[in-house]
């Protein structure tokens, strides 16, 4: 895995690995929430147990590239 970078430097045009304290690393992608009445962008994570509210209240702090596919 590449070295973790601050989430502020993360690309918003593709899936990456993001880190949330107390949850660990998970795949995710930026969601600009453009179809909502009051858009509130957030990191949309690849985990069914994480709700949108949880993602907005406890956003990731770091990111790294996804590993290459086998």
Is residue 69, in this structure, part of any structural domain at all?
no
CB proximity list for 8: less than 8 A, separation 6 or greater: none
Is residue 36, in this structure, part of any structural domain at all?
yes
Average confidence (pLDDT) over 13-40? 85
pLDDT, one tens digit per residue, over 36-59 is 777 677 777 787 666 767 767 778
Q: Is residue 12's pLDDT more than 90?
A: yes
Quick one: pLDDT at residue 46? Answer: 80
Is residue 11, in this structure, part of any structural domain at all?
yes
Q: How many CB atoms lie within 10 A of CB 62?
A: 18
pLDDT, one tens digit per residue, over 53-67 is 776 777 889 999 998
Kindly list the strands in the beta sheet with 5-6, ordered across the sheet, starting from the edge strand earlier in the chain.
5-6, 62-64, 16-20, 24-31, 42-45
Q: Is residue 1's pLDDT more than 80?
A: no
Strand partners, 30: 43
Number of domains in the chain: 1
pTM: 0.76
What is the rounded distance in angstroms from the CA atom of residue 5 to the CA atom of residue 19? 10
What is the rounded distance in angstroms from the CA atom of residue 52 to the CA atom of residue 4? 23
């Amino acid at each position: 895995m590449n070295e973790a970078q601050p989430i502020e430097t993360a690309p918003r045009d593709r899936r990456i690995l993001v880190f949330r304290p107390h949850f660990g690393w998970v795949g995710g992608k930026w969601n600009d929430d453009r179809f909502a009445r009051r858009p509130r962008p957030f990191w949309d994570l690849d985990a069914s147990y994480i709700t949108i509210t949880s993602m907005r209240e406890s956003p990731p702090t770091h990111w790294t590239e996804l590993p290459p596919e086998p």
